[in-house]
């Protein structure tokens, strides 16, 4: 299994480049949803309850009730802040070391917490499903976001 994850990460790394045009698409679509932190996290937990179960503060809680809580909003803001930081760094190759640092750390902390590669895939799927329901999501936008996730996951999944 580890071998397959390494192969997937290497394949993703080979296609991890995000062009300037793709960066602009990612940035423009992200700007349309980045203030919807709670809705984004709600969509992810709703689609994949196993992700919610990874958070000790949220285990066993009703998602609808949780959605209105301060701890949920705070965690949603943390997730969106990391995505915003990454999106802001896109489009400039000089920022690649910063991207590497951010996602090496994120990958290590999530690995240490027992988050699986499958759960990262689920997060991606749920996030892109949410995004595609909120913005003009054409083929170019889909490709841009997939390339952005490939870049991130090539780093994050290198821990697995």
Each of the 160 residues of the chain gets a pLDDT tens digit; together they read 444 344 444 444 444 589 999 999 999 999 999 999 999 999 999 999 999 999 999 999 999 999 999 999 999 999 999 999 999 999 999 999 999 999 999 999 999 999 999 999 999 999 999 999 999 999 999 999 999 999 999 999 998 8
* 3-state SS, residue 160: coil
**The total number of structural domains that make up the chain:** 1
Distances (CA, A) of 62 to 42, 56, 69: 11, 13, 11
If you search the block for the tokens 């009703």, which residue do you land on? 62
Q: Please state whether 138 falls in left (phi above 0), alpha (psi between -120 and 50) or beta.
A: beta
Q: What global pTM score does this model have?
A: 0.87
Q: Which candidate, 149, 155, 157, 119, places its Cα nearest to that of 26?
A: 149
Domain range spanning residue 153?
2-159
Q: Residues with Cβ < 8 Å from 134, sequence gap 6 or more?
A: 32, 33, 36
Residue 87's alpha-carbon distances to 93, 153, 154, in angstroms, are 13, 14, 16
The pLDDT value given to residue 6: 41
Tokens of 96: 């690649």
What CATH number is associated with residue 20?
A: 1.10.490.10
Radius of gyration, alpha carbons of the chain: 15
Residues 157 and 53: their CA atoms lie apart, in Å, by 20
């Amino acid at each position: 299994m580890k071998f397959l994850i390494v192969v997937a990460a290497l394949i993703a790394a080979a296609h991890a480049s995000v062009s300037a045009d793709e960066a602009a698409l990612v940035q423009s679509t992200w700007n349309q949803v980045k203030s919807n932190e709670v809705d984004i996290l709600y969509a992810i937990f709703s689609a994949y309850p196993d992700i919610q179960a990874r958070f000790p503060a949220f285990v066993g809680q009703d998602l609808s009730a949780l959605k209105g809580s301060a701890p949920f909003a705070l965690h949603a803001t943390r997730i969106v802040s990391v995505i915003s930081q990454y999106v802001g760094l896109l489009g400039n190759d000089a920022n690649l070391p910063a991207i590497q640092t951010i996602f090496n750390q994120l990958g290590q902390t999530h690995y240490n917490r027992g988050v699986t590669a499958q759960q990262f895939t689920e997060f991606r799927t749920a996030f892109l499903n949410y995004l595609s329901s909120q913005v003009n999501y054409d083929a170019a936008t889909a490709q841009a976001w997939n390339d952005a996730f490939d870049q991130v996951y090539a780093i994050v999944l290198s821990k697995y």
